[in-house]
Amino acid sequence: MQDIPKPFKRPPKRFQPPGLEIIYEDHDILVVDKRSGLLTVSTDRVKDNTAFFLLNAYVKKGNQKSRNRVFIVHRLDRDTSGVLVFAKQEKARDDLQAEWQRFDKKYQAVIYGTLPDREGMISSYLAENRAHKMYSVNDASKGKLARTGYRVLQQAKHACLVEIDLLTGRKNQIRVHFSEQGFPVVGDRKYGTKEPGVKRLMLHACSVTIRHPRTKERMTFEAKVPPSFKAFLRE
């Protein structure tokens, strides 16, 4: 009979890695709420200030010789906040990645303008140019299929709050799809416009539903949407 992993007790905030809040942890997985501005993994310029580096230090608990470590399952853009799932075993990572496209992933975003339909689907093939920006192409052989479902939760005069079903997980997918429709995500300096007074990209991974790699139990993890999203709509 397979052992059922028990969740670890959530550590006090002062012991949690900076920029990350532990949502759930057991012997197989570690789920966090990542703040906007923190990279998931390192780049040529940033090595240490990443979720991956900080969580590796967290699971080693100060012991550099510890064999404890985390494994990357998926990524969030630096400026996107919300639920981020890591594995703590190699097999757990492989199992999660094998099913990742089938898991439910919901986001919320504040976008400029008024969408013509209160709910719908945006679908295109995404490719990347030499400047590392994503864009849609008509030729399926030149891009990867990207599908983004959405529904409007709240409409203001100048912007709206949308809930998004991420049906595929392409790089910058949500940001590209809404920008190309003429409704860029608020605070998106890469695919939108620089707006004075907007301090962050208003895109948040609010929930992920997975099957636990060991028990196969269906589990949903949630991270509260930042209050600044609705505050922006009230302005």
Active-site amino acid positions: 77
> How many whole angstroms separate alpha carbon 15 and alpha carbon 116?
46
**Contact (Cβ atoms closer than 8 angstroms) between residue 59 and residue 68:** yes
CA 50 to chain CA centroid, nearest Å: 14
Q: Which residue is associated with the tokens 């003429």? A: 182
Q: How far apart are CA 13 and CA 20, in angstroms?
A: 9
* Beta bridge mates, 30: 25, 86
Judged on CB neighbours under 10 Å (0-12, 13-18, 19+), 61 is: exposed
